Amino acid sequence: MIAQVLLNGLLLGGLYACIAAGFSLLWGVMNVINLLHGTLVVLGGYLAWMAFYFFGVHPLVALPAVALLVGLFGASLQAGVLGRVVGAPVLVTLVITFGLDLITRNGLLLSFGADFRTIRPSWTLGTAEVGGLKIPLDRTIAASAALAMTLALYLLLRRSWLGRAIIAVRMDRDAAALMGVRVRHAFTAAFALSAALAGAAGALLGLVFPISPLQSDGYLGTAFTVCVLGGLGSVVGAVVGGVVLGLVESIAGFALGAENASIVSFVLLILLLAVRPEGLLGRRGYA
Amino acid sequence: MSERWMVGFATTAAIGAALGLLYWAGAYELRLGTILAMYIALATGWNLIGGMAGYPSFATAAFFGLGAYAGTLTQVKGVPMVLAWTFAAVVAATVALAIGWIVLRLRGHYFAIASFAVVIVLREVATNWTGLTGGGMGVSLPMLQSSMLAQARLFFAAQAVLAALAVAISLFVAYSKLGFALGCIRQNESAAGMLGLDARRAKTAAFCISSAITGAAGAIYASSIFYIDPSDVFDILLSVKPIIMAMLGGAGTVAGPILGATLFMILEQTVWANFLSVHSAILGALVVVIAMFVPRGLFGRRLRRRLA
């Protein structure tokens, strides 16, 4: 039973890592907390649902297209709105992303209504049983895909020219500009990557949970908590934080009842902020 | 006009307008007046911590909801209305003292997130503690035996008195040593600390006063609508609207939040009346435009001195 709880937590953690990695990137690189992030996850879920409902495409197949669309949406927001207030005080960027969130949510609500949508592909892998442990295979694939994308982000930041440029801007904006990095483009690319990952996570979550606009707060809170748990701006931190949060929520849900799981994670968030704001790993990450 | 004259004139005009509403207005106008007074109280309350001290607090909804529940639950137990409102303010201030002890160590984004999380924690607690709060079903208050108009007058008077009290406190703080300390914290907290300013105490005081005002506003609001549930009184929009109002008028000044609340209320009512299904998108667009183009407020330049 305990093993089952831990397994569920791990699988949840993979998806959380994917949500938080992009959020953490933006926070680290642009010093912007994107209050729109949860809604981008939901948007990804709806796009996957549309692909499934209208064209019968499985979310795993639609994944690249969903990520691309949500990424483009993010890039256009950055280029059109947030790029104009680079370096503004905390409150200004928070309020702007909140306003954008209101607009996007209203759009989603008008297009899809408030009721839950579910994606139930006709072929599922079902569950495998290994020594009494029930392994939900669809969920495992979703979690693995999420982790794979998080790893892809890590490699991109480490190995590619674009990634190095984004990290350089994060370390020192002015110095990066002097070295010939186009800071505006690096910001737009960072936002696009962050949004693409959020959208992809949404599509994968659509395989596991029903989709509704009301969930975006929850996903945003998850991204916050994972970032604070794992430390800001590092992909490795997001993975560690995601897995820890997944385990904590899963165990808290088992011990105290599912409805109290989110209280536990938010109380954990506040306490961690107070005691160890630099995260469990305890170092500022640059990739 | 000198500052003193302007304050005198504005005060007289506000009192006149309030009395005029009480005597001549119908229930609908009184209802609008009640919302306006509540907005002024909330924006002024937020301004103490968010504007004067420069701490980007999103905790307004937390203390609004806390006050609403404290006021409602004591009234259900039979405590008289005004006493319940006072109790709500005390509860909000006490909880703010405890929460402030933790979250006021944080700065910038971290403080903003922690204050955000406080709202969500309290909302979840209110939703899940069914034995005390009725959970997601909410709590109802017994209806009053008086006419609609008399009730509208009562609640308008209550919110207006609270708003006046909030503005008086804000004015007092702005010209006191506390206000000076908050200004120092906003400009450079580390430097202020080095010069021997007890930043902790000043921040905590501002946070508690701000929360007491917010809690009382929540309690009066709950009494006036007779029914509350967690998603209504812990709505995160309640945290954001006061910020927008204060920004619109000029955060950190006394008059800014009042002017901003008035202007915001007019905009909001117009949008509500004309575009119901897309009102939150329009509100969002408004928020974006204000934050992008007038982050220092429409009157920020004129009100650069403390009032003034």
Low-confidence winner among A79-88, B59-68, B96-105 (lowest mean pLDDT): A79-88
Closest of A29, A34, A23, A32 to residue A173, by C-alpha = A29
Contacts of A262 in chain B (CB under 8 A): 120, 124
Query: Is the pLDDT confidence value at A287 over 70?
Result: no
Domain ranges for chain B, please list them: 3-236
What is the arithmetic mean of pLDDT over B108-130?
85
Let me know: does A244 contact A9? Beta carbons within 8 Å.
Answer: no
Rounded Cα–Cα distance for residues A69 and A62 (Å):
11
A255 inside domain: yes
- Is the CB of A270 less than 8 angstroms away from the CB of B236? no
Q: Do A33 and B109 count as a contact with CB atoms less than 8 A apart? A: yes
Q: Are B113 and A273 in contact (CB < 8 Å)?
A: yes
pLDDT at residue B91, rounded to an integer: 96
Closest CA to A76 of A233, A189, A177: A189
Inter-chain Cβ pairs, chain A and chain B, closer than 8 A: 121
Say if the Cβ atoms of A88 and B287 lie within 8 Å: no
Whether the CB of A64 is below 8 Å from some CB of chain B: the reply is: no
Q: Number of folded domains in chain A?
A: 1
Q: Which pLDDT belongs to residue B212?
A: 96
* Closest CA of chain B from A37, distance in Å: 14
CA distance B63 to B210: 9
Report the complex ipTM.
0.79
Question: B296 pLDDT exceeds 60?
Answer: yes
Boundaries of domain holding A29: 2-112+138-275
What's the pLDDT tens digit per position in A230-286?
Answer: 877 788 888 988 998 999 888 888 888 777 777 787 788 778 777 776 666 655 545
- Mean pLDDT for the stretch of residues B66-72: 94
Dist. CA A125–CA B79, nearest whole Å: 60
For A263, the closest of B58, B102, B125 (CB atoms) is: B125
More confident residue, B159 or A2: B159
Give the per-residue pLDDT at B1. 52
When pLDDT is cut at 50, 70 and 90, the band that residue B48 belongs to is very high
Q: At what angle do helices A235-256 and A137-159 cross, to 10 degrees?
A: 150
**Beta-carbon separation of A85 and B291 below 8 A:** yes
Is B118 in Cβ contact with A273 (below 8 Å)?
A: no
With CB atoms and an 8 Å threshold, state whether A273 touches B106. yes
**Which pLDDT belongs to residue B308?**
41
When pLDDT is averaged across residues A107-125 and rounded to a whole number, the result is 79
- pLDDT tens for B127-139 read 888 778 777 778 8
Q: What is the pTM of this model?
A: 0.84
Interface of A with B in 129-188 (CB under 8 A): none
Q: Determine contact: A125 vs chain B, CB below 8 A.
A: no
Distance from CA of B147 to the nearest CA of A (A): 37
**Looking at beta carbons, which residues of chain B come within 8 Å of A86?**
none
Higher pLDDT, A135 or B250: B250
Confidence tier at A92 by pLDDT (50, 70, 90): confident
pLDDT (0 to 100) of residue B214: 96
A42 contact B CB<8A: no
Find all residues with CB under 8 Å of B299, minimum gap 6, and list them: B249, B250, B253, B255, B256, B259
Closest CA to B207 of B42, B49, B40: B49
pLDDT confidence band for B303 (50 / 70 / 90): low
> What pLDDT, on the 0 to 100 scale, is given for residue A28?
82
The first and second tokens of residue A123, run together, are 């072929």
Q: What does the pLDDT read at residue A249?
A: 86
- Nearest-CB residue to A270 (from B114, B236, B278): B114
Residue A287 maps to a domain: no
> Is B307 a residue whose pLDDT tops 80?
no
Domain assignment of residue A89, yes or no = yes
Share of chain B above pLDDT 90, in %: 34
CB contact under 8 A, A107 and B281: yes
Question: Residue B112 is nearest to which of A84, A90, A259, comparing CB atoms?
Answer: A90
Quick one: pLDDT at residue B211?
A: 96
Distance from CA of B252 to the nearest CA of A (A): 13
| Angle made by CA atoms B22, B243, A42, in degrees to the nearest 5 | 115
Exposed, middle or buried, B98 (CB in 10 Å: 0-12/13-18/19+)? exposed
SS3 content of chain A, % helix, strand, coil (to 5): 75, 5, 20
CA distance A260 to A221: 15
Q: Spell out where A79-155 has E strands.
A: 127-130, 133-136
CA-to-CA distance for B229 and B244, rounded, in angstroms?
24
Model pLDDT, residue B37: 94
CA angle B207, B210, B215 (to 5 degrees): 115
Distance from CA of A46 to the nearest CA of B (A): 19
Chain B partners within 8 Å of A90 (Cβ): 56, 108-109, 112
Mean pLDDT of the region A11-31: 88
